[in-house]
Amino acid sequence: MTNAAVPRYLALIPAAGVGARMAAGSPKQYLPIGGKPMLRHTLDAFLSSPRIAHTYVVVSADDPFIDSIVPGQGVTVLRCGGATRMESIRNGLRALHGSVALNDWVLVHDAARPGLDAELIERLVVETGEHPVGGLLALPVVDTVKRAVAGEVATVSRDGLWLAQTPQMFRYQLLCRALDAATDPSAITDDASAVEALGLAPRLVEGHPRNLKVTLPADIRIAELYLAAFSQHTDNGQNR
Ligand SMILES: Nc1ccn([C@@H]2O[C@H](COP(=O)(O)OP(=O)(O)OP(=O)(O)O)[C@@H](O)[C@H]2O)c(=O)n1
Ligand SMILES: C[C@](O)(CO)[C@H](O)COP(=O)(O)O
């Protein structure tokens, strides 16, 4: 594998989860949001971005849903989901070995975050720029933070605290190195933490509350309200 003269921006969507916390009886990434499967919102966000050269979606080997929602072009399905989010991403990256450049940017984005749009993708790409490590969307903490342990409650300073979102974008080679170096996949809950474990500091780029992760049942309606409020077109089809 080699470096590209002009690195591409590639999307990698982990979509092999079971949605246990959603307790919907089927994987949450296929539940309807605003009349369209959640994962299709996420795929459409990347398909609508002129930056993204190609989108890869990682699903479980026996996923029975993906073929009915994946669009005809621009998306490749990788049936190599793993036991954890991190393993699904690591398997997906390994499946791309030989077909991407070492310095291609990989934007890893949760299928469970349907509120992403081309504007947030552009913000991440532009503000991360040529950062030597990479970057991720995140939101600064605005509430008071409590830690509750063994019946004790204590306030934790929120100074400098951010809530990580996705996409999280890193060069293909660095992301592979970081995930391969991870000794406990279950401890790596986002891609940036694997990179940080190498002693590197990614750029934090302000995201948006609409880019929430749909995790619990109440999040479905919240995501629908955000999507309706921030849709790309008004009733007369004009962009806002
Ligand atoms: N083994 C896994 C676990 C999660 N994911 C993906 O990682 C994203 C974020 O994970 P999460 O919100 O935790 O989804 P689930 O693991 O499905 O949810 P739960 O933890 O409630 O089971 C989701 O798009 C999910 O499909 C994945 O690709 N492979
Ligand atoms: C990657 C992530 O969305 C960043 O906040 C989050 O860590 C995913 O956690 P999950 O438990 O896999 O949903």
Query: From the alpha carbon of 215, which atom of ligand 2 is closest?
Result: 13
Residue 220: name the closest of 85, 31, 44, 42 by CA. 31
Q: What is the residue whose two structure tokens read 């940017």?
A: 105
- Ligand 1 centroid to residue 11 C-alpha, Å: 17
- Ligand 2 centroid to residue 236 C-alpha, Å: 36
Q: Does the pLDDT value for residue 238 go beyond 70?
A: no
- Across residues 94-110, what is the average pLDDT? 97
- Across residues 28-32, what is the average pLDDT? 98
- Ligand 1 centroid to residue 112 C-alpha, Å: 7
Which ligand lies nearest to the CA atom of residue 18 in the structure?
1
- Ligand 1 centroid to residue 6 C-alpha, Å: 32
Pocket of ligand 2 contains residue 189 by CB under 6 Å:
yes
Pocket of ligand 1 contains residue 108 by CB under 6 Å:
no
Q: How confident is the model at residue 1 (pLDDT cuts 50, 70, 90)?
A: confident
- Across residues 110-115, what is the average pLDDT? 98
Contacts of 2 (CB under 8 A, 6+ apart): 101, 102
Q: Specify the pLDDT at position 234.
A: 36
Q: Does the pLDDT value for residue 237 go beyond 60?
A: no
Q: Which of 12, 13, 18, 87 to mutate to test the pocket of ligand 1 (most atoms within 8 A of CB)?
A: 18
Query: From the alpha carbon of 213, which atom of ligand 2 is closest?
Result: 3
Among 65-74, 103-112, 205-214, 215-224, whose mean pLDDT is lowest? 65-74
Q: Does the pLDDT value for residue 184 go beyond 80?
A: yes
CA distance 22 to 35: 18
Query: From the alpha carbon of 15, which atom of ligand 1 is closest?
Result: 26
For 71, the token pair is 């669009």
Q: What is the mean pLDDT of the chain?
A: 94
Q: How confident is the model at residue 236 (pLDDT cuts 50, 70, 90)?
A: very low
Query: From the alpha carbon of 110, which atom of ligand 2 is closest?
Result: 3
Q: Specify the pLDDT at position 119.
A: 97
- Ligand 2 centroid to residue 71 C-alpha, Å: 25
What percent of the chain lies above the pLDDT cut of 70?
A: 96
**Cβ(202)–Cβ(137) below 8 Å:** no
pLDDT digits (tens, 9 = 90+) for 143-181: 999 999 999 999 999 999 999 999 999 999 999 999 999
- Ligand 2 centroid to residue 6 C-alpha, Å: 30
CA atoms within 13 A on the CB side of 87: 13
CA distance 51 to 8: 8
pLDDT digits (tens, 9 = 90+) for 129-143: 999 999 999 999 999
Pocket of ligand 1 contains residue 216 by CB under 6 Å:
no
Question: What superfamily does domain 9-238 belong to in CATH?
Answer: Spore Coat Polysaccharide Biosynthesis Protein SpsA; Chain A (3.90.550.10)
CA atoms within 13 A on the CB side of 44: 12
Q: Specify the pLDDT at position 232.
A: 57
For 136, the token pair is 């991720």
